[in-house]
Structure 1
Amino acid sequence: MMRALDLLHRWTGGLIGLLLALLGASGTILLWKEAWLRWMLPGAADPRVTDAAVLGDLTAHIMADAPGSILFATDGFGLNRVNFGERGAYIDQAGHVVARWDSVWDRPELWLFDFHHYLFSGETGETVAGIAGLIGLAFVVTGILLWWRTRRTFRFRLLPKRMTRPAIVIHHRDLGIVMAPLLLLSMVTGTMMVFRPVADLVLRPVAAPGTVTASLAPPKIEGGALDRAALDWRRIVPQALARYPGAELRVISMPKKAGDLVSIRLKQPAEWLPNGRTGVWVDPATGKIVATRDALAMPTGARWFNKAYPLHSGKIGGVLYRTVMTLSGLTLAMLGSLAVWSFWTERGRRRRAESRRRRALAIEPA
């Protein structure tokens, strides 16, 4: 049984280890995205504007160009990101354009995010990345089982003692068991966000299946035809913020199809999710608020689900927690890449040895 498990672990690692390594490396870079963008972009280190009237004026100014959505500045990143489909721009809190792009390939943080979440392939890529996460989760579980047989030989090393297959296997086994809790956290939270059944399974002790999907669904209210003249942002933004005193304005999304509402996402102080789940919906035909949702009043399962992304992306706990998750990402990158390298170089060595043996037999005198 354990021999078959070991064989499956090694072969699967040799085939998919590189993808997991790339996901780990890209995720690690994204953990520190705001930090390196503050060095690259003017205004990115500016303090967040909190005055509702000023935010209303800024929104009205930006919406004059008819974007699809606005992602507002945070305490850690002082620029607003405006999206026009594939195109976009960073705009400071005074309304000045800081940078523009015509595709995700123009900005490293955008294509890194697109790779890590979607493998450059939209929903299909997201599904593949989610499957890779499930396989990674299975790696951790089977790795723990395989390590148990050799636990008495445990020796912790950050790097292999030498670049040989036996040394790499020992390093892989012992580093993996030390980092297993963090790897499990990364894999579980990542797959929860991609596959709702996984989230339902993880949250089953506190929520019935379907609770998360029902809680996050938009209100069943049909909006009228979009009339941008009716959307008085200088009135709408302060009204939305007044519904939840102390909340941050995070995202405004315009309707994507007929009947959709304007969505305003807010983040209350007690929420972990960077963009919050507190919602205000506006009829695009009249500019009137027609529905609200308090994220803090959601069912327990939905509130737990809302913690998955901040746990996965290091959006809580400041520098200390991001450093911890950085160790997880670097470990995944190292274990995945070394597993692939050792697996295929060993197979190549065996093929060369077999080829030499056959040539020796062929020339051996009768």
Structure 2
Amino acid sequence: MRQWMGRLHRWLGILVSLWLVLVALTGTFLLYKTELLQWQYPQLQLAELPSTATAGAVFDLYDTGYAYLPRVDKPWVEVIDGDGNSHYHGVAGEHLLTRPALGDWIDIAVQFHHHLLLHDLGKDVMGVLSLITLFILISGIVRWWPRRWSVRLWSVRWHWPWQTGFQMTLYQFHKTFGIILLPGILLGAVTGTAIMYAASVSGSLTTLLPQQDQRWQPATTAVQALNWNERLQAAEKIFPDMTPALVSLPVKPDGTVSMRLRYDGEWHPNGRSSLSFSTTTGELATWSDTRNSALGYQLSQTIYPLHVAAVGGLPLFILLLAGGIMLILLPVTGVWFWLWRQRRKTSTVRV
């Protein structure tokens, strides 16, 4: 069993090594997306947050795509139009910057990490490769699991690449730090895979945990809101304990526009509750409070926040960062060690 798992671990690892390095590298960079944007575009270094009223006025300028309200980790008004271009507005609603779709390395990294720049096809491919990665991790644990435990299991003898013992350093580093940092590695890999199969995961958890609590109701439904400022103000009256986080700009076929809201303490940075308003009468058309949803659905909505370290503070951030770095180094050290063994075998045969 161990030998069979070891062979699968090796060959599958070689197969997905390049993809895994690139996905882990882009994912690790994206933990610092706001800082990278502000470094590349200094005009985004705002001293204060734009107001909700300013955001509403900006939203009225667009009729395609979706938009984010300003928050501490994204201190600007951001609109992504129907072509994927990102528009940024400042404290007074002034236009700061437009980033064309795939116009810089940051957006290329984002789109590659999400779907390999291939949209729906890329998501399907990412899902399969993510499942293979989980199997590689499991097989690595099985292959490493010792028959006898000792302190030597955690040792790494360091040699430089030009020294004779470097191949052993590669091997020991690969297995030892792969196990030490396994929690962060698994957190990133498992949540990333679950995101690729979000609908199936959410449906399965909802079936397993269907319990619901229907005590949450809107404070009022009597509103009339015909522009985005009025809709944002209406949202505060309907759900006074929630904050609007994201709006959908196009008018839907049923003549409504919608927004998502986040309740106090919710993990998801964009919230999962929603409101929609008629664009002709301004009346509230539909509403949903995610706290009324099945327990399984609510649990499924914690996956994304865990994947992007939106919760847990600095400890979870460090855990994910360490796991991401190790997901880069695991395929590098593994393939390097395999190439060294192949070279050694070739040299032995020639002799």
Q: Shorter chain as normaliser: what TM range?
A: 0.7 to 0.9
Q: Supply the distance in 2 between the matched residues of 1:46 and 1:296 (Cα, whole angstroms).
A: 34
1:212-251 to 2 correspondences below 5 Å: 231-251=226-246
* Pairing 1:270–2:265 present: yes
> Equivalent residue for 2:17?
17
1:306-345 to 2 correspondences below 5 Å: 306-345=301-340
1:162-311 to 2 correspondences below 5 Å: 162-163=160-161, 164-196=166-198, 199=201, 204=205, 207-208=206-207, 231-255=226-250, 258-259=253-254, 261-311=256-306
Task: Tell me how far 1:193 sits from its aligned partner.
Answer: 1.2
Query: Cα deviations across residues 51-102 of structure 1 (Å, max 9, x unaligned)?
Result: xxx5245323442243422112112221111112232211113211111122
The letter of the residue matching 2:131 is L
Say what the alpha-carbon RMSD is for the aligned residues: 2.7
Given that residues 208 and 296 in structure 2 are in contact (C-alpha distance below 8 angstroms), is that contact kept between their aligned partners in structure 1? no
* Pairing 1:93–2:91 present: yes
Q: Supply the distance in 2 between the matched residues of 1:289 and 1:44 (Cα, whole angstroms).
A: 36
- Alignment partner of 1:81: what SS? strand
Taking structure 1 as the reference length, what is the TM-score of the superposition? 0.81
Task: Tell me how far 1:256 sits from its aligned partner.
Answer: 7.2
Q: Supply the distance in 1 between the matched residues of 2:158 and 2:125 (Cα, whole angstroms).
A: 30
Q: Supply the distance in 1 between the matched residues of 2:343 and 2:257 (Cα, whole angstroms).
A: 58
Q: Supply the distance in 1 between the matched residues of 2:209 and 2:115 (Cα, whole angstroms).
A: 24
Query: Cα deviations across residues 301-343 of structure 1 (Å, max 9, x unaligned)?
Result: 1111111011111111233321221001000001122222332
Which piece of structure 1 moves more, 12-21 or 125-134?
Answer: 125-134
Q: Supply the distance in 1 between the matched residues of 2:255 and 2:16 (Cα, whole angstroms).
A: 40
* Pairing 1:121–2:86 present: no
Q: Supply the distance in 2 between the matched residues of 1:43 and 1:160 (Cα, whole angstroms).
A: 43
> Equivalent residue for 1:154?
153
Which piece of structure 1 moves more, 89-98 or 38-47?
Answer: 38-47
- Alignment partner of 2:276: what SS? strand
Distance 1:121 1:275, change over 3 A: same
Given that residues 68 and 246 in structure 2 are in contact (C-alpha distance below 8 angstroms), is that contact kept between their aligned partners in structure 1? yes
Task: Tell me how far 1:162 sits from its aligned partner.
Answer: 4.5
Distance 1:193 1:256, change over 3 A: farther
Q: Supply the distance in 2 between the matched residues of 1:55 and 1:143 (Cα, whole angstroms).
A: 50
Distance 1:122 1:29, change over 3 A: same
The letter of the residue matching 2:124 is T
Query: Cα deviations across residues 159-200 of structure 1 (Å, max 9, x unaligned)?
Result: 964544433222211111112222222111111111147625
Given that residues 266 and 275 in structure 1 are in contact (C-alpha distance below 8 angstroms), is that contact kept between their aligned partners in structure 2? yes
Q: Supply the distance in 2 between the matched residues of 1:113 and 1:211 (Cα, whole angstroms).
A: 34
Gaps of 5+ in 2: 212-224
Q: Supply the distance in 2 between the matched residues of 1:261 and 1:345 (Cα, whole angstroms).
A: 62
Given that residues 277 and 283 in structure 2 are in contact (C-alpha distance below 8 angstroms), is that contact kept between their aligned partners in structure 1? yes
Q: Supply the distance in 2 between the matched residues of 1:27 and 1:160 (Cα, whole angstroms).
A: 28
- Alignment partner of 1:271: what SS? coil
Q: Supply the distance in 1 between the matched residues of 2:279 and 2:48 (Cα, whole angstroms).
A: 31
Given that residues 14 and 344 in structure 1 are in contact (C-alpha distance below 8 angstroms), is that contact kept between their aligned partners in structure 2? no
- Alignment partner of 2:261: what SS? strand
Task: Tell me how far 1:257 sits from its aligned partner.
Answer: 5.8
> Equivalent residue for 1:79?
76
* Pairing 1:41–2:51 present: no
Q: Supply the distance in 1 between the matched residues of 2:207 and 2:240 (Cα, whole angstroms).
A: 31
Gaps of 5+ in 1: 213-229, 358-366
Given that residues 273 and 288 in structure 2 are in contact (C-alpha distance below 8 angstroms), is that contact kept between their aligned partners in structure 1? yes
Task: Tell me how far 1:350 sits from its aligned partner.
Answer: 3.1
Q: Supply the distance in 2 between the matched residues of 1:126 and 1:331 (Cα, whole angstroms).
A: 23
Distance 1:193 1:160, change over 3 A: farther
Taking structure 2 as the reference length, what is the TM-score of the superposition? 0.84
Q: Supply the distance in 1 between the matched residues of 2:288 and 2:46 (Cα, whole angstroms).
A: 31
The number of residues matched between the two structures is 330
Task: Tell me how far 1:232 sits from its aligned partner.
Answer: 1.9
* Pairing 1:59–2:56 present: yes
Residue among 105, 110, 113 paired with 1:108: 105
> Equivalent residue for 2:220?
none
Q: Supply the distance in 1 between the matched residues of 2:341 and 2:19 (Cα, whole angstroms).
A: 20
Q: Supply the distance in 2 between the matched residues of 1:294 and 1:234 (Cα, whole angstroms).
A: 21
> Equivalent residue for 1:219?
none
Given that residues 62 and 95 in structure 1 are in contact (C-alpha distance below 8 angstroms), is that contact kept between their aligned partners in structure 2? no
Task: Tell me how far 1:246 sits from its aligned partner.
Answer: 3.7
Task: Tell me how far 1:248 sits from its aligned partner.
Answer: 2.2
Task: Tell me how far 1:263 sits from its aligned partner.
Answer: 1.9
- Alignment partner of 1:154: what SS? helix
